[in-house]
């Protein structure tokens, strides 16, 4: 087994290697003067089980091309098996035709990764579960819920908590977290209307959240507008505090400043996307690592053991 990384999230790749007790593979991923990407694998990988760690986060297209070119380099270097480890799968929000004459970009990206030569894909909290079916190769979608639940149990008293879904579509994810914290607990839902991408208007809160410490759970935070509006609505309905647990901290544009000045007690994100210095310096944003989760999944994949049993 050999683990390599592109430039998108080297810190996470190094942490995964520390967990696995293997060195990070030697590879050069650099740019020519015209910004073409050039990859050189600097050690023998013939007959090896290779794992390439690369989130397709901002700059999305550059990081995606790095992943594709690295996969091609390993294929041409006679690696036995190539697994694309994609902690954050970009383009996942374009998983269907929401209107006429639009692409299904998530399917296109899946095709590109497959055609480049990947034999397997390992990813984390896909925006939509059906994206697994876009790949014609084995795909393992890991869940961050056990990781988030462990953090919640370490910091909150069970009886005062209420897990809240920021929209109807996230109820399944919210229920999974709620059951791990307290099997007898109930959920609340924020009913919102989105007028256009990146903007949302909170309409109503479904559920009794008065006197509760509310935990908003979602897979992606991008502009932060939905979370900040939801926090205001929950506090207006009598919540004691509002904390958000989100897997992928995209946090584009002025999102970090928006969260820092919001009524959120804390935003907890994972390192599936390498946090910027602005994120690390924000007073109410905390990052927890996925290195153990992804590292164990890599270990089990290499040993041909069950990955799904991680979540039993």
Q: What is the pLDDT of residues 82-106, one digit of tens each?
A: 999 999 999 999 999 988 999 999 9
Report the binding-site residues for Mg(2+). 127, 167
Residue given tokens 């879904």 in the structure block = 165
Here the tokens at position 84 are: 């694309």
| Per-residue confidence (pLDDT) for residue 311, from 0 to 100 | 86
| Per-residue confidence (pLDDT) for residue 165, from 0 to 100 | 93
Here the tokens at position 219 are: 């897979």
Q: How many CB atoms lie within 10 A of CB 5?
A: 25
| Per-residue confidence (pLDDT) for residue 258, from 0 to 100 | 95
| Angle separating helix axes 291-302 and 10-20, nearest 10 degrees | 60
Residues β-bridged to residue 270: 288
Report the binding-site residues. 34-36, 93-94, 127, 167, 194, 218, 222-226
Burial-class residue 128 by CB neighbours within 10 Å (0-12, 13-18, 19+): middle
Q: pLDDT by residue (tens digit) across 98-140?
A: 889 999 999 999 999 999 999 999 999 999 989 999 999 999 9
| Per-residue confidence (pLDDT) for residue 199, from 0 to 100 | 61
Per-residue pLDDT of the chain (312 residues; tens, 9 = 90+): 999 999 999 999 999 999 999 999 999 999 999 999 999 999 999 999 999 999 999 999 999 999 999 999 999 999 999 999 999 999 999 999 988 999 999 999 999 999 999 999 999 999 998 999 999 999 999 999 999 999 999 988 777 899 999 888 889 999 999 999 988 788 999 987 666 665 656 668 999 999 999 999 999 999 998 899 899 999 999 999 999 999 999 999 999 999 999 999 999 999 999 999 999 999 999 999 999 999 999 999 999 999 998 887
Go through the domains of the chain in sequence order and give each one's CATH number: 2-142+292-311 (3.40.50.2020), 145-288 (3.40.50.2020)
End-to-end CA distance of the chain: 26
Here the tokens at position 287 are: 């990052």
Which residues does 163 contact at the CB level (< 8 Å), separation at least 6? 174, 175, 177, 178, 181, 185, 187, 188, 214, 215, 217
Catalytic residue among 2, 107, 192, 212: 192
Report the binding-site residues for D-ribose 5-phosphate. 194, 218, 222-226
Q: How far apart are CA 249 and CA 268, in angstroms?
A: 9
Residue 192 annotated among the catalytic residues of the structure: yes
Residue 137, CB half-sphere, CA atoms under 13 Å: how many? 18
Q: Hey, which bits of the chain come out as E strands?
A: 2-5, 27-31, 37-41, 49-53, 81-86, 120-124, 139-142, 161-165, 187-196, 199-206, 213-221, 241-249, 266-270, 285-288
């Amino acid at each position: 087994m050999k683990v390599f990384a592109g430039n998108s999230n080297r810190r996470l790749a190094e942490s995964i290697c520390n967990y696995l007790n293997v060195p990070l593979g030697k590879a050069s991923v650099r740019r020519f003067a015209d910004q073409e990407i050039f990859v050189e694998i600097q050690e023998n990988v013939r007959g090896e089980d290779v794992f390439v760690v690369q989130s397709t986060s901002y700059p999305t297209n550059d990081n995606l091309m790095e992943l594709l070119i690295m996969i091609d380099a390993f294929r041409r270097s006679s690696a036995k098996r190539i697994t694309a480890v994609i902690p954050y799968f970009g383009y996942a929000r374009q998983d269907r035709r929401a209107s006429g004459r639009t692409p299904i970009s998530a399917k296109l990206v899946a095709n590109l990764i497959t055609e480049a030569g990947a034999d397997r894909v390992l990813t984390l909290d896909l925006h939509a579960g059906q994206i697994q079916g876009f790949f014609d190769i084995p795909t393992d979608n890991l869940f961050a819920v056990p990781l988030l639940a462990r953090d919640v149990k370490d910091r909150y008293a069970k009886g005062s908590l209420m897990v809240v879904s920021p929209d109807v579509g996230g109820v399944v994810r919210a229920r999974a977290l709620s059951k791990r914290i307290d099997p007898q607990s109930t959920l609340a839902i924020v009913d919102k209307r989105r007028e256009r991408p990146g903007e949302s208007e909170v309409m109503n809160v479904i559920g009794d959240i008065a006197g509760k410490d509310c935990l908003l759970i979602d897979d992606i935070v991008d502009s932060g507008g939905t979370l900040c509006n939801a926090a205001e609505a929950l506090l207006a309905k009598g919540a004691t505090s509002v904390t958000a647990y989100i897997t992928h901290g995209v946090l584009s544009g002025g999102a970090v400043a928006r969260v820092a000045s919001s009524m959120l007690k804390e935003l907890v994100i994972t390192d599936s996307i390498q946090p910027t210095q602005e994120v690390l310096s924000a007073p109410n944003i905390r990052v927890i690592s996925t290195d153990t989760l992804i590292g164990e999944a890599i270990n089990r994949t290499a040993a041909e053991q069950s990955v799904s049993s991680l979540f039993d």
